[in-house]
Structure 1
Amino acid sequence: MDDISTGILFSLLILLLVISGYFSGSETGMMSLNRYKLRHLANQGHRGAKRVEKLLSRPDRLIGLILIGNNLVNILASAIATILGMRLYGDIGVAIATGALTLVVLVFAEVTPKTLATLYPERISFASSVVLQLLMKLLYPLVWFVNGITNGFLMLLGLRVDKTHDGKLSSEELRTVVNEAGGLIPRRHQDMLLSILDLENVTVEDLMIPRNEIAAINVNDDWKSIVRQLSHSAHGRIVLYRDTIDEVVGMLRVREAYRLMMDKNDFSKENLLRAADEVYFIPEGTPLNIQLLKFQRNKERIGLIVDEYGDIQGLITLEDILEEIVGEFTTSISPTLAEEITPQPDGSLLIEGSANIRDLNKSLNWGLPTDGPRTLNGLILEHLEDIPDSQLSIELAGYQMEIIEVSDNMIKQIRVLPNQLKKTG
């Protein structure tokens, strides 16, 4: 080193600092990449993305390569700085060189390149991958040797490098990704994606039409009553039963009944029963995502939900599940949530007792409990453990409510007071 001029040593020191900054920035850029965006670009044929993805397939080797290079140049830079300090300032120059080099490395070889790499990870990584790929081939024996020692030490600690995280997202992590997509995904599409993720947490009972609201015909009724019910039906299919709805005998397509009506000779109870389809039963507690697949697999669009004793609990259709994902269809015959909520001049809300609790929570951003009854009427009855009189005020789950109308052992209308609405809105 004594034969090398001070100017050349300064130039070598600057070059080594640049190389150190390159390794530092490359490491941060590689580790800051969005792996899913990287995979997408690689699948689209982006060369830089393919190189980076190959390097990241073994992150232990990539980190080993970068750290070998970074430590080599930093140690060499330290040696040169020490020589320069002694030439310029004598023995005190060692301390000066150490302090000055520490500051320079920290600012120009660590913080600055790593900050840039964090801000522009793709640009830095794709460009540096060309050199890193070449260095990996040239220094592979050394990298392999260092990683062998490192991995052996980790194995002594009970860790396995090959058992790394596969990069798959859980449903909750995916939900966070969708929520943070911002303007990249339209809000309407975000809501649909989140609704799909929610299907596994919702069962068929949460969406079913209760048994007392199922459009059904007792085939033991007189013929005129049956014809009148068929003629005035607003549904595409009607359940046929004998005496009680638990004795279901078939699912009749109304258009098939109309076809039979055209031929008076074929229009009879026997032919109606013959024209009815076999009933598709669904066990209670079935998650919506499972039932959606079952509808597809069994080529069905409608089913009756039964409990463990075989009693009918309600009815659900394929459209009900699709509405849970995309929102209500305008052709829906059932009352919508907007029709069950009436804003009042004083700011309160007049709500039908049959309103679905999950729909209220989603539409109004409320926090009513959903682990029990499915309707607001059922929730209040469970809370009171009695059928109340009208004009009774209660506080339920932090919401001030007033029972307006009670009839047929059901709470028909509830008013939610405006003070609580302002807190939750």
Structure 2
Amino acid sequence: METLPLWAQIGAVAMLLLISGFFSISETAMMALNRHRLQELAIKKVIGAKTTQCLLAHTDQLLCVILIGNNLINVIIPVLTTSIALRAFHNHSAVLSITTGIIAFLIIVFTEITPKIVGAAYPEKIALPASLVIKPLMTISRPLAWFINLLANSILFVLHINMQKGRDLRMSNEEWRSVILESGNFIPSKHRSILLNLFNLESISVDDVMIPRQRIEALDFDMPLDQLVKQLETCSHNKIVVYRGDIDRVLGMLHVRKTLAALQNQKLKRERLEEVLAEPYFVPSGTPVFQQLQYFQDHRNQIALVVNEYGEVQGLVTLADIIEELIGEFTTTLPRTASGVAEGWNARGECIVTGGVSLRELNRRLSLRLPLDGPKTLNGLILERLEAIPEADVSLVISDTRIQVMQIDNQAIRTVKLFRPRRLNTIHTMVVREHAH
């Protein structure tokens, strides 16, 4: 090195700094690269994508080559700069100290911090072209990398560190939920909502999504024939529960449209009606929704009656109810009030609902935060909080929502008026202003 001119030695130091920076930026970019995005680029045959995949398939060898190159250069640079300082300023302790400080600063800033920040910010743009350079280096240094990896694995074996066990760790549902919540703009809001709802299916049961017993549209087999036909003609559902005397005595499920079409040109008879009934499908109360979804697939059925331990019908759950938990409400031609919820908040921030409406349905349609860990209906929630059957015009506040009991019928709350929480009023005002602008 002493035979080289001073400018050549300084140029060599600058070149080594650039190479060290290349190794640092490549290491960070490779580790920060999105593997799923890389798979897509490889399928599209983007230059460097397949090579990068091969390198990341052998992460231990990749890191070994990068770290060997980086550390070797970082050792050579101080030696070379010390030689330059001795040649220029002779053996002067102050000059050597200043030179060491300067080169340490250059290494930290220009070969470590800055390249790694850039590599983390633009992993895809850097990793793919860098892989075309690193791949030949890995091939050349394979014997040295093998020996160093063997030595490192031997040390890990002596320390009883099982690397395979660490690779097999799987993310829990809560960790996946956190990843989805923190995904930001990487996942569209609608898709993110569906993914979160999918995880929620494992924590809720059919009792949370079923249509309560009081709201089941059913047909009494023993009613007069003219009334029976009239109810069939005005039925708002395609399939209806048929019972005898009491809804706990279910005879079967009736396909309304097929029945009306088949009996259009002949007089309806009870015997004929009983023949076209389908076998009812019962599920126990408390069945997890995700499990029920699998049951629907296995039994090729879309409607099930939920029964308690005594065999009493508690409600009715359909495949559509479960799917709505995932993707939200369907647009149908049925009136909104049929489910117990009116059209929504009016101009005064009020909404009139029935007492038997599901709390989950209220929260979903009106963006409320009513508690779901206790009673399933608004009637049950009010009775739990008041610990008595209220009189009309009684008001209470639950989870920032003001609730006014309007009508009582047969010891149950029939009609309730809800007042929009201030939180929702603020959001509504902001939306109106945005539209105005």
TM-score strictly above 0.5: yes
Distance in 1 of aligned mates of 2:352 and 2:326: 27
Task: Work out whether residues 395 and 405 of structure 2, in 8 Å CA contact, stay in contact via their aligned partners in 1.
Answer: yes
Partner of 2:275: 274
Distance in 1 of aligned mates of 2:164 and 2:43: 24
Q: What pairs up with 1:31-42 in 2 under 5 angstroms?
A: 31-42=31-42
Distance in 1 of aligned mates of 2:171 and 2:40: 16
Partner of 1:310: 311
Task: Map Cα deviations across residues 349-369 of structure 1 (whole Å, 9 max, x no partner).
Answer: 444323322233334443221
Compared with structure 1, are the counterparts of its residues 350 and 249 closer, same or farther at alpha carbon in structure 2 (3 Å cutoff)? closer
Secondary structure of 1:406's counterpart equals strand
Task: Work out whether residues 340 and 355 of structure 1, in 8 Å CA contact, stay in contact via their aligned partners in 2.
Answer: no
Larger CA deviation: 222-231 vs 123-132: 222-231
1:274 is matched by which residue type in structure 2? E
Distance in 2 of aligned mates of 1:129 and 1:223: 80
Partner of 1:329: 331
Compared with structure 1, are the counterparts of its residues 110 and 260 closer, same or farther at alpha carbon in structure 2 (3 Å cutoff)? closer
1:97 is matched by which residue type in structure 2? T
Task: Work out whether residues 343 and 350 of structure 1, in 8 Å CA contact, stay in contact via their aligned partners in 2.
Answer: no
1:341 Cα deviation from its structure 2 partner: 4.0
Match among 401, 408, 425 for residue 410 of structure 2: 408
CA RMSD of aligned residues (A): 2.8
Task: Work out whether residues 350 and 413 of structure 1, in 8 Å CA contact, stay in contact via their aligned partners in 2.
Answer: yes
Distance in 1 of aligned mates of 2:153 and 2:340: 60
Q: What pairs up with 1:9-408 in 2 under 5 angstroms?
A: 9-89=9-89, 90-92=91-93, 93-165=95-167, 170-176=172-178, 178-179=180-181, 186-264=188-266, 267-326=268-327, 327-332=329-334, 335=337, 339=342, 341-343=344-346, 345=348, 347-408=349-410
1:419 Cα deviation from its structure 2 partner: 6.3
Task: Map Cα deviations across residues 141-182 of structure 1 (whole Å, 9 max, x no partner).
Answer: 221222222223233333222334469665445545555555
1:77 Cα deviation from its structure 2 partner: 0.9
Task: Work out whether residues 353 and 412 of structure 1, in 8 Å CA contact, stay in contact via their aligned partners in 2.
Answer: yes
1:27 Cα deviation from its structure 2 partner: 0.9
Compared with structure 1, are the counterparts of its residues 249 and 349 closer, same or farther at alpha carbon in structure 2 (3 Å cutoff)? closer
Q: Which runs of 5+ in 2 are unaligned?
A: 428-437
Secondary structure of 1:405's counterpart equals strand
1:69 Cα deviation from its structure 2 partner: 0.8
Q: Which runs of 5+ in 1 are unaligned?
A: none
Task: Work out whether residues 341 and 362 of structure 2, in 8 Å CA contact, stay in contact via their aligned partners in 1.
Answer: no
1:122 Cα deviation from its structure 2 partner: 0.9
Aligned-pair identity in percent equals: 37
Secondary structure of 1:163's counterpart equals helix
Partner of 2:431: none
Q: What TM-score results when the alignment is normalised by the length of structure 2? A: 0.87
Task: Work out whether residues 308 and 314 of structure 2, in 8 Å CA contact, stay in contact via their aligned partners in 1.
Answer: yes
Distance in 1 of aligned mates of 2:72 and 2:230: 92
Task: Map Cα deviations across residues 60-102 of structure 1 (whole Å, 9 max, x no partner).
Answer: 2222221111110110111111111222222323212211101
Secondary structure of 1:125's counterpart equals helix
Task: Work out whether residues 230 and 254 of structure 1, in 8 Å CA contact, stay in contact via their aligned partners in 2.
Answer: yes
1:154 is matched by which residue type in structure 2? L
Secondary structure of 2:414's counterpart equals strand
1:188 Cα deviation from its structure 2 partner: 3.8
Distance in 2 of aligned mates of 1:379 and 1:143: 67
Task: Work out whether residues 85 and 96 of structure 1, in 8 Å CA contact, stay in contact via their aligned partners in 2.
Answer: no
Distance in 1 of aligned mates of 2:12 and 2:126: 24
1:23 Cα deviation from its structure 2 partner: 0.7
1:17 Cα deviation from its structure 2 partner: 0.9
Distance in 1 of aligned mates of 2:133 and 2:165: 28
Secondary structure of 1:286's counterpart equals coil
Task: Work out whether residues 336 and 343 of structure 2, in 8 Å CA contact, stay in contact via their aligned partners in 1.
Answer: no
Larger CA deviation: 133-142 vs 189-198: 189-198
Distance in 2 of aligned mates of 1:119 and 1:224: 74
Distance in 1 of aligned mates of 2:426 and 2:364: 13
2:405 is matched by which residue type in structure 1? I
Larger CA deviation: 252-261 vs 331-340: 331-340
Compared with structure 1, are the counterparts of its residues 405 and 258 closer, same or farther at alpha carbon in structure 2 (3 Å cutoff)? same
Task: Map Cα deviations across residues 177-199 of structure 1 (whole Å, 9 max, x no partner).
Answer: 55555556554444344433433
1:13 Cα deviation from its structure 2 partner: 1.3
Task: Map Cα deviations across residues 387-423 of structure 1 (whole Å, 9 max, x no partner).
Answer: 1112223233454433232222222333445665468
Compared with structure 1, are the counterparts of its residues 96 and 79 closer, same or farther at alpha carbon in structure 2 (3 Å cutoff)? same
Distance in 1 of aligned mates of 2:153 and 2:392: 73
Q: What TM-score results when the alignment is normalised by the length of structure 1? A: 0.89
Distance in 1 of aligned mates of 2:345 and 2:415: 10
1:19 Cα deviation from its structure 2 partner: 1.0
1:291 is matched by which residue type in structure 2? Q
1:282 Cα deviation from its structure 2 partner: 2.1
Distance in 2 of aligned mates of 1:232 and 1:249: 21
Secondary structure of 1:262's counterpart equals coil
1:119 Cα deviation from its structure 2 partner: 1.8
Compared with structure 1, are the counterparts of its residues 205 and 44 closer, same or farther at alpha carbon in structure 2 (3 Å cutoff)? farther
Distance in 2 of aligned mates of 1:351 and 1:259: 36
Task: Work out whether residues 241 and 249 of structure 1, in 8 Å CA contact, stay in contact via their aligned partners in 2.
Answer: yes
Partner of 2:435: none
